[in-house]
Structure 1
Amino acid sequence: MNLLKQPVINLNGIGAQTANRLGKLGLRTVQDLLFHLPHRYEDRTRVSPIGMLTAGMTALVCGQVDFIDVLPRGRKSLVCKISDGTGAVMLRFFHFTANQHTIFKPGTWVCVFAETRLGMAGLEMVHPDYTVISGPDAAVTDARLTPVYPLTEGLSQNVIRKAIKQALQVCGQHPQLLADCLPASMLQDFGYPSLAEAIQTLHAPDETVTVEALQDGSVPALKRLAFEELLAHHLRLSSLKRQASVWQAPIFQEDAPTATHFLRSLPFALTGAQQRVIAEIVADCKQNKPMMRLVQGDVGSGKTIVAAYTALLAMTAGYQVALMAPTELLAEQHLRNFSVWFAGFDVQVSFLSGQSKGRIRQAVLQGLADGTVNLVIGTHALFQEAVQFHNLGLVIIDEQHRFGVHQRLALREKNQQAGMRPHQLVMTATPIPRTLAMLQYADLDVSVIDELPPGRQPIVTRVIPSERRAEVVARINEWVGKRRQAYWVCTLIEESETLQCQAAEQTAEVLAQALPGVRVGLVHGRMKSSEKDAVMQAFKQHQLDLLVATTVIEVGVDVPNAGLMIIENPERLGLSQLHQLRGRVGRGKDDSYCLLMYQSPLSETARQRLGILRDSNDGFVIAEKDLQLRGPGEVMGTRQTGAMQFKVADLRRDADLIAAIANVSEQLFTETPDAVPRLCDRWLGTETLYAEV
């Protein structure tokens, strides 16, 4: 048996309960332990003079106890003051025993380690680690930096450190186990250590490695592992792209008269960017290999008409098309648009959602099975087992990041017969920074619509403090008086004292009272779909003037008459999400405004972020800045099924490593293809093939 694959329960001191807790962290084998790296380090290698301490500093100090006391006021705590001749610091314990009273008697020397903070009586350390020593020269220091690992409930640093120490011993005794998958020449070119050395360095850094170097990512061992992890993700996706090439797909030949008739029937002309992306799609669909293309376009750039043109290609060639949207509201909007655009064509457009019931649902299912329905637009309901297609040739997925992996996979496999797969067009209005796109979509060809249709007015964005709320409310009155509509976005539904956010329900009530002549509607995520849709439809049909909403309207309907948006507490949201929300206005020919109403005082980062949004309407610029400020998890919304999670790599810190990844990936496939599955297994295990869609 491969010793790296042996279960953690085989290690000394790990029983069933501990193994179970380690399992919650994904640590099931010795190899998992080796790749469970510290998320920070503590420096207990040297003693700092107490006089050098500042608030926020974590340090090891030695001092003599001057006095000890139990403070009954407020939350009961044990405090004692220690000094070393250079200064003094308070130690505070909220959880303490009678024994500690004895330990910290005046005159005793102690060595303590903790973060220093500003307390009522100056600098203090709360619940420090401590050791009683015989005098100032008997300080207990460590030879190396102390690793601090991510934990789960019921697991201590001690337990995990002992387990990892044993895993490192196994590798020390059998160095061949951690064999390098990267060629020696490549490691030399990049100046990287071997895998075994890198792992050893990060779990137990020697005296030459500083905490600062580990934090900024300049340690070669850290760079090497981050590079290998990013490479493994790229290889997994590239492998899938290669595997997909064995499948056949239907060939769509462009029918010139039909295409010309379609474009001439539109009430607008396509932009140069739309025409370029359509040409890329047409070239894909002429091949007998499945198209896997992502179309990125900023809010309002016209991705939907590109999708409609692609659907026409498929239907003209005699194939069915399925378009899946994340919400019923958005799906219905697509239905209206596509029905208008295809009105002069001999195509049957149908709708299917969870709300479709009885005879209507049965008729759509029958039409899809016998081929009389050419285009079906719907929600998650499209991939239910009961939905069978006659000859599905194209799958279009709107706002792809809103769907879990298995949902999209299920739809693609609807027509997976005799080695055939439908072409797939994936659309997103969430611009993805180039660095992320290279990794997240290594299996997709990416097209970008980087031009807005003529006549679209840029949205004027203003950043204002919530103290000016009364002015804003007065402005809504004027706005509605001009027969225009507005959105008021709250970032929370329920009251939260700590975040000082206005609740949506309360805000709707307050605004309705303050604006008696204004028709106010409310929509939030906890309402039933049918209730939500009814309110949104009423707003679209101008039966409401002001819509108070949570972020559920981020991907929503097109209401050209709504040209004013107020976003409360914008400092709580990411830039990309704020940009998406702002994109609900600016859809008509008149001026549009977005007011970002923040709670004072703003942190420097929040001020920076809101400034970026105020100064730019370009989603790609905003996404790049968002990545720099907040990291990939927030930008991509990695709470979603199957999104990339990194153990070591940090895309803000390691962005410079990405440029070389595609070339190295190609080199490995060509020169050492057997290393590819080993690398993927090492970093990704047998996790869901998230790119299989």
Structure 2
Amino acid sequence: MSHLEPHKQPVTTLTGIGSQSAARLEKLGIHTLQDLLFHLPLRYQDRSRIVPISQLMPGMTTLVCGTVEFTDSIQRGRPSVICRIADASGSLSIRFFHFTVQQSQQLKPGTLLGCFGEIRYGYNGLEMVHPEYKIVSAAEQLLETTLTPVYPLTEGISQSALRKAIKQALTLCLTSDSAITDWLPANLLTEHGYPSLNDALQTLHNPPPHLSAEIINGGSLPALKRLVFEEFLAHHLALLQGKLAYKSWQSPVFDINQAAKQAFLEGLPFRLTGAQQRVSSEIESDCRQAQPMLRLVQGDVGSGKTVVAALASLLALNSGYQVAIMAPTELLAEQHFRNFSIWFAETGHQVLFLTGQLKGKARQATLGALADGSANIVIGTHALFQDSVHFHKLGLIVIDEQHRFGVHQRLALREKGQHGGLRPHQLIMTATPIPRTLAMLQYSDLDISIIDELPPGRKPIATSVISSERREEVIGRIEHWVAQQRQAYWVCTLIEESEALQCEAAEKTAAYLCQALPNVRVGLVHGRMKAAEKDAVMQAFKNRDCDLLVATTVIEVGVDVPNAGLMIIENPERLGLSQLHQLRGRVGRGDQDSYCLLLYQSPLSQAGKQRLAILKESNDGFVIAEKDLELRGPGEVMGTRQTGQIQFKIADLERDRDLLELIPAAAQLIHSQHPNVIQPLIQRWIGHSRHYAEV
């Protein structure tokens, strides 16, 4: 055996694990003995007691033992073997569809047979189909001393093989002279009633039979909570370490040019709200420091985050630095480009636009202007941060709608634009209010500002929940609305992931509305259209050359047409509340009355009605975000399909969200009193994960 500590040994150290099995285990993320220890069961089976046949119920998965009464081959239909076993209380049929002659010969009358499997109704009463079975001389030989773990598997690795490997790993790593190090301080464990790491792992892999399998499977066992707590803590510490590491760098110190700021504000067609002024002051304070700003600005739909980003940009520009603004979609990037071009028209600063669609000489010219410093502001999509993009003197990065990207991209961006040993300031914006508990986990490396005030004159959007059976009424309402020189949106949603199907649905809806509303000018925008086509349609809508815009959820962010005061959202039951609130925020941007009609498919479940009622009753994005979290759980709210979000080995945001509240205080304790355990904890749970490469 090598000089490595036991838990750091490769799995090939174990008996029965060769290079082929090791390669298969790698698919489960298992490389070392420690990985095996943290590969927890999906669920548990109770083989510690035999259930009398008379007490069996359909749906039970249990252990029975009985004497074979007869075995019969059935040839009609699908060939099978039926074995009838009996104990003192009753009898049970055991059915095998895949069997050999030797198997059926083994099951002769008088044989004592133990079977473990699921009970269900069969042709002749209760039966087990394809149970695990064992011929024994006494029933006691069947009984296990602990609950039996059932592990997640991969092709080529069986339950029995994985159980044997984990059993060996437990013996090698959890004995008194080679116990895996417990990095959590004893007082922290005592405070929360958690067991030691070794005890927790032993319990989770070999739970004593007095523990209910239902309790363990439900996630309420202290042994499991203790591991989840440590994993959440490690991720929280990793982000905090990233923040400390980044803050240890030098950054540009921006000058505050009050005259330039005042001139800029006077050129705007509106006055800043108190919340916008407060957040701008917080940003100014950050940017006057020699350490890089890492600030998240949260604001509800229409609260005016973009102008706050523009004021931050002005700080950088007046100090001789460049600004890069990244948006998740071309549509939103185009919106920012138009606004910034207008706002900065009189300042002498050139605003450029860069997306993946920009090609040839135009792209080369843009890249050249950024590299030689002749352009000061660039707005675009993730194309901004490709290797081919070089900045002359980047001082500020603004990331809009951060939740569309991911943690690892945010961390990677901090490396972009180093100049003379200085790191750029970073401002992150989101119009999707983040529930507090999720913000603690996902954004613990950021200072947070909240724009909690809407511009004056904004009226609440009146929201109605309407069955799709009343579609004709809705179409009549659009006709009446357009006759008043107002504009409207019709948003198509599909549950299918396929963008092609979503676009096809939008095209069919647009064709149907053109036919139903011959006097209404109908436009169409969806994700598969070329940027120039989308831009032309959106510009026509802004210029009032289009009355009704049919769109997919591509318009969720970045569209600002004050005259559009009516929105119809089809199939709203298929979207989360926060996304619906984002879509609804495309209307209500002027000082006139605005309406949102949620056109659901009947029948709508009670839970569906409850969700849509929340949207009807509230226009507050922060309230809606918290309600969304309660109803759908963190995984859905954060978007589990979305790349870049934090991935956990053991923790489950849905099941374990109550533990998130405990993490900030625990992290503070670790930082102040036990800094030596920070890196080992991060290494154990995150290791070489790209999310935290910087850490």
* TM-score bracket, shorter-length normalisation: 0.7 to 0.9
Output one character per residue of 1:510-549: Cα deviation in whole Å (capped at 9) or x when no partner.
Answer: 4444444444444444444444444444444444444443
2:388 corresponding residue in structure 1: 386
2:48 corresponding residue in structure 1: 45
- Against the structure 1 CA distance between its residues 671 and 528, is the aligned structure 2 distance closer, same or farther, given a 3 Å change threshold? same
Output one character per residue of 1:595-622: Cα deviation in whole Å (capped at 9) or x when no partner.
Answer: 3333444444434333333333222222
| C-alpha contact (below 8 Å) 1:250/1:393 kept by paired residues | yes
* Alignment map for 1:344-423 (pairs within 5 Å): 344-404=346-406, 408=410, 411-423=413-425
Q: Which amino acid aligns with 1:566?
A: I
1:295 corresponding residue in structure 2: 297
Displacement after TM superposition at 1:336 (Å): 1.2
Displacement after TM superposition at 1:33 (Å): 0.8
**1:661 aligns to 2:663 (yes or no):** yes
Displacement after TM superposition at 1:245 (Å): 2.3
Output one character per residue of 1:434-489: Cα deviation in whole Å (capped at 9) or x when no partner.
Answer: 11111211211011112222222222333334433444344444444444222232
Q: Which piece of structure 1 moves more, 315-324 or 546-555? A: 546-555
TM-score by length of 1: 0.88
- Against the structure 1 CA distance between its residues 495 and 409, is the aligned structure 2 distance closer, same or farther, given a 3 Å change threshold? closer
TM-score by length of 2: 0.88
Structure 2: distance between partners of 1:590 and 1:55? 61
2:14 corresponding residue in structure 1: 11
Output one character per residue of 1:216-269: Cα deviation in whole Å (capped at 9) or x when no partner.
Answer: 433221121111111111111111122122211111132222222222332222
| C-alpha contact (below 8 Å) 1:68/1:104 kept by paired residues | no
| C-alpha contact (below 8 Å) 1:110/1:133 kept by paired residues | yes
| C-alpha contact (below 8 Å) 1:65/1:110 kept by paired residues | no
Q: Which piece of structure 1 moves more, 680-689 or 478-487? A: 478-487
Q: Which amino acid aligns with 1:35?
A: F
Structure 2: distance between partners of 1:282 and 1:236? 27
| C-alpha contact (below 8 Å) 1:564/1:592 kept by paired residues | yes
Structure 1: distance between partners of 2:97 and 2:521? 53
Q: Which piece of structure 1 moves more, 326-335 or 481-490? A: 481-490
Structure 1: distance between partners of 2:227 and 2:461? 44
Displacement after TM superposition at 1:306 (Å): 0.7
- Against the structure 1 CA distance between its residues 110 and 607, is the aligned structure 2 distance closer, same or farther, given a 3 Å change threshold? farther
Displacement after TM superposition at 1:662 (Å): 2.5
Q: Which piece of structure 1 moves more, 246-255 or 149-158? A: 149-158
2:647 corresponding residue in structure 1: 645
- Against the structure 1 CA distance between its residues 78 and 3, is the aligned structure 2 distance closer, same or farther, given a 3 Å change threshold? same
Overall identity of the aligned pairs, in %: 61
Structure 2: distance between partners of 1:318 and 1:247? 20
Structure 2: distance between partners of 1:122 and 1:436? 53
- Against the structure 1 CA distance between its residues 194 and 407, is the aligned structure 2 distance closer, same or farther, given a 3 Å change threshold? closer
Output one character per residue of 1:107-147: Cα deviation in whole Å (capped at 9) or x when no partner.
Answer: 98865544567x79799778452426689967944332222
- Against the structure 1 CA distance between its residues 542 and 80, is the aligned structure 2 distance closer, same or farther, given a 3 Å change threshold? farther
- Against the structure 1 CA distance between its residues 126 and 503, is the aligned structure 2 distance closer, same or farther, given a 3 Å change threshold? farther
Structure 1: distance between partners of 2:464 and 2:56? 42
Displacement after TM superposition at 1:645 (Å): 1.5
| Residue among 485, 489, 499 paired with 1:486 | 489
- Against the structure 1 CA distance between its residues 431 and 148, is the aligned structure 2 distance closer, same or farther, given a 3 Å change threshold? farther
Structure 2: distance between partners of 1:540 and 1:87? 78
Q: What number of residue pairs does the alignment pair up?
A: 689
Structure 2: distance between partners of 1:456 and 1:71? 76
| Residue among 303, 311, 314 paired with 2:313 | 311
Structure 1: distance between partners of 2:638 and 2:199? 33
SS of equivalent to 1:648: coil
**1:23 aligns to 2:26 (yes or no):** yes
| C-alpha contact (below 8 Å) 2:73/2:81 kept by paired residues | yes
1:195 corresponding residue in structure 2: 197
| Residue among 148, 152, 157 paired with 1:155 | 157
Q: Which amino acid aligns with 1:30?
A: L
| C-alpha contact (below 8 Å) 1:285/1:423 kept by paired residues | yes
Structure 1: distance between partners of 2:409 and 2:663? 29
Displacement after TM superposition at 1:661 (Å): 2.4
| C-alpha contact (below 8 Å) 1:301/1:453 kept by paired residues | yes
- Against the structure 1 CA distance between its residues 370 and 114, is the aligned structure 2 distance closer, same or farther, given a 3 Å change threshold? same
Gaps of 5+ in 1: none
SS of equivalent to 1:586: coil
Structure 2: distance between partners of 1:134 and 1:315? 83
SS of equivalent to 1:463: strand
Displacement after TM superposition at 1:427 (Å): 0.6
- Against the structure 1 CA distance between its residues 273 and 2, is the aligned structure 2 distance closer, same or farther, given a 3 Å change threshold? same
| Residue among 229, 239, 262 paired with 1:260 | 262
Displacement after TM superposition at 1:681 (Å): 0.8
Structure 1: distance between partners of 2:602 and 2:125? 28
2:36 corresponding residue in structure 1: 33
Displacement after TM superposition at 1:685 (Å): 1.3
- Against the structure 1 CA distance between its residues 211 and 546, is the aligned structure 2 distance closer, same or farther, given a 3 Å change threshold? farther
Displacement after TM superposition at 1:291 (Å): 0.2
* Alignment map for 1:372-521 (pairs within 5 Å): 372-404=374-406, 408=410, 411-483=413-485, 484-492=487-495, 503-521=505-523
Displacement after TM superposition at 1:55 (Å): 6.2
| C-alpha contact (below 8 Å) 2:492/2:502 kept by paired residues | no
SS of equivalent to 1:595: strand
| Residue among 280, 283, 292 paired with 1:281 | 283
- Against the structure 1 CA distance between its residues 306 and 93, is the aligned structure 2 distance closer, same or farther, given a 3 Å change threshold? farther
| C-alpha contact (below 8 Å) 1:493/1:504 kept by paired residues | no
Displacement after TM superposition at 1:368 (Å): 2.2
Displacement after TM superposition at 1:505 (Å): 4.2
**1:176 aligns to 2:181 (yes or no):** no
Displacement after TM superposition at 1:573 (Å): 2.7
Displacement after TM superposition at 1:338 (Å): 1.3
Structure 1: distance between partners of 2:549 and 2:153? 43
- Against the structure 1 CA distance between its residues 287 and 251, is the aligned structure 2 distance closer, same or farther, given a 3 Å change threshold? same
Q: Which piece of structure 1 moves more, 527-536 or 585-594? A: 527-536
* Alignment map for 1:592-607 (pairs within 5 Å): 592-607=594-609
Displacement after TM superposition at 1:636 (Å): 1.9
**1:681 aligns to 2:689 (yes or no):** no
1:570 corresponding residue in structure 2: 572
Gaps of 5+ in 2: none
| C-alpha contact (below 8 Å) 1:65/1:104 kept by paired residues | no
SS of equivalent to 1:290: coil
Output one character per residue of 1:617-654: Cα deviation in whole Å (capped at 9) or x when no partner.
Answer: 22222222333333333222244444212222233443
Structure 1: distance between partners of 2:212 and 2:432? 39
SS of equivalent to 1:321: strand
Structure 1: distance between partners of 2:285 and 2:475? 52
Displacement after TM superposition at 1:205 (Å): 0.7
2:626 corresponding residue in structure 1: 624
SS of equivalent to 1:611: helix
